[in-house]
Amino acid sequence: MLVALLLRPPGTFPLVSGGLVAVGTAALAGAVLIAVTTFSFGELRWLAEKHYGEQVRLILGVLSERLAPTGEASPTMVALEQTADAAVQAVSSLLPALVLLQSLAALALAWTLYRVFAREPEGSVLPTLREFRFNDHLVWGIVLAAIALVWPGRETVRLVGGNLATFFGGLYVVRGLGVVGAMAAAAGVSGPLMGLLAAFVTVFLLPIALLGALAFGVSDTWLDWRRRLAQRAKDR
């Protein structure tokens, strides 16, 4: 699949669209394999939960020896165990979406390294974060995720909805961060000041920042914030 994408005629896909096609094809192939074999999504979830659970228990065991050497369960360890269990459950349920997002990041890194080390690199450079965008029709992924999450009945449908929401939500969060970056640049906020602001938001306002970036990313489908910024700068 990747060889076919790399050998496609130049200009067939923009870089971002090519990466999305690659991971989308991989996701479709995985879904077909699950459909035609005895392997199920529930088994994948169980294996992931078993693997990550063992890793977490190993880490918690080391922490327990440091924080509670007498063997008594401290409130801190109880809270850590509850948080870790919830994290393992979430990662196991959303593993397909997380793997696809990681695959996109790996493709971006691989292309960047190719551009850096190749003597005569072909193709265009990756767009900057402020230029990151993709086909507006992908907003239907958000719509399908919302429908699946509220669909009554089978838990499998809600699991699919959760994975769709995680994958497309991740894409639109990155797109929203690009919009925010473009707005900050238009307002003259850049360099060290931008770094300090990003660090403050990450430490103290991360959930609100993610929701805000998601809102900017989704609304960019219709409002095209960066085009408006460019038009405003041109009119001055």
The pLDDT value recorded for residue 105 is 92
The pLDDT value recorded for residue 69 is 65
Q: What is the pTM of this model?
A: 0.87
Mean pLDDT, rounded, for 136-144: 95
Query: SS3 letters for the chain?
Result: CHHHHHCCCCCCCCHHHHHHHHHHHHHHHHHHHHHHCCCCHHHHHHHHHHHHHHHHHHHHHHHHHHHCCCCCCCHHHHHHHHHHHHHHHHHHHCHHHHHHHHHHHHHHHHHHHHHHHCCCCCCCCCCCHHHCCCCHHHHHHHHHHHHHHHCCCCHHHHHHHHHHHHHHHHHHHHHHHHHHHHHHHHCCCCHHHHHHHHHHHHHHCHHHHHHHHHHHHHHHHHHCHHHHHHHHHHHC
Mean predicted lDDT score pLDDT of the chain:
86
What tokens appear for 54 in the block?
């063992």
What is the spatial distance between Cα 144 and Cα 167, in angstroms, rounded to a whole number? 12
What is the spatial distance between Cα 128 and Cα 134, in angstroms, rounded to a whole number? 13
Q: What is the largest CA-CA distance in the chain?
A: 70
pLDDT for 103 beyond 50: yes
Mean pLDDT, rounded, for 109-135: 87
Q: What is the pLDDT of residues 77-101, one digit of tens each?
A: 788 889 999 999 999 999 999 999 9
Q: What is the pLDDT of residues 27-78, one digit of tens each?
A: 998 889 888 998 888 898 999 999 999 999 998 888 887 776 666 667 777 8
What tokens appear for 105 in the block?
């990041």
Q: What is the pLDDT of residues 105-119, one digit of tens each?
A: 998 898 889 888 988
Q: What residue ranges do the domains of the chain occupy?
A: 132-236
